Amino acid sequence: MATTNDLKNGMTLDIEGQLWTVVEFQHVKPGKGPAFVRTKLKQVMTGKVVDKTFNAGVKVEIAILEKREMNFLYKEGDDFVFMDNVNFDQMTISEATVGDAANYMLENTEAIVAIHEGNPLYIDLPASVPLKITYTEPGLQGDRSSGGTKPATVETGIQIQVPLFIKQDEIVLVDTRDGSYQGRAN
């Protein structure tokens, strides 16, 4: 347990059985009336963001999240199997928990898995990952009607937009947050 005065960005709270991450907070001391804390909270499971106000000094329950560095091994049916990099334990994580991260994961991809009371909550990937272009049309010189980009399919199966000069079998960096092209991988 902690008080609202102890809140920090990134802290995870357990409010009425649901886990919320503090996105931002502000202590407010109005000229008249008691002080309060205005927060923006993001639900861990759904990503829903809400504004919530607490009276200053109110006790809140802090959820202890364990973040482990893990390696994605393989996909088994609808589940993903990860291995802990420290103790080599394997953990099976459902497709629903992995979510959109599956679009950017190849075997042996490093990821951070957030675990609460033994249950995996979500997966954090690096900001960008190198992926090989498996198919793209050749770009035509002078073709600028599409803003200088063309669709390309990467080895995980998703389609991204790349500049016209990118060719098939090149390795590019893809942003794991929005799927955008970041540049060529060295």
Say yes or no to pLDDT of 143 above 80.
no
Say yes or no to pLDDT of 145 above 70.
no
Provide the pLDDT for residue 63: 87
Q: What average pLDDT score do residues 34-38 get? A: 91
Percent of the chain residues past pLDDT 90, beyond the cut: 24
Q: How confident is the model at residue 72 (pLDDT cuts 50, 70, 90)?
A: very high
CATH of 128-184, one of 3.40.50.720, 2.40.160.40, 3.30.930.10, 2.40.50.140: 2.40.50.140
For the chain, the structural domain boundaries read 2-62, 66-124, 128-184
Cα 117 to Cα 10, 66, 159, distances in angstroms? 18, 9, 36
Q: Are 51 and 40 in contact (CB under 8 A)?
A: yes
- Dist. CA 176–CA 57, nearest whole Å: 38
Are 2-62 and 128-184 equal in CATH topology? no
CATH of 2-62, one of 2.30.30.30, 2.40.160.60, 2.60.40.1220, 2.10.109.10: 2.30.30.30
- How far, in whole angstroms, is CA 20 from its chain's centroid? 15
**How many Cα neighbours within 13 Å face the side chain of 74?**
2
> Which residues in 94-116 are b (16+ Cβ under 10 Å) and which e?
eeebbeebebbbeeebebebbbb
Beta carbons within 8 Å of 152's beta carbon, 6+ residues apart? 133, 135, 136, 159, 160, 161, 162, 166, 172
Structural fold of domain 66-124: OB fold (Dihydrolipoamide Acetyltransferase, E2P) (2.40.50)
What's this model's pTM, rounded to 2 decimal places?
0.69
- Dist. CA 13–CA 17, nearest whole Å: 9
Give pLDDT tens digits for 22-32: 989 999 998 88
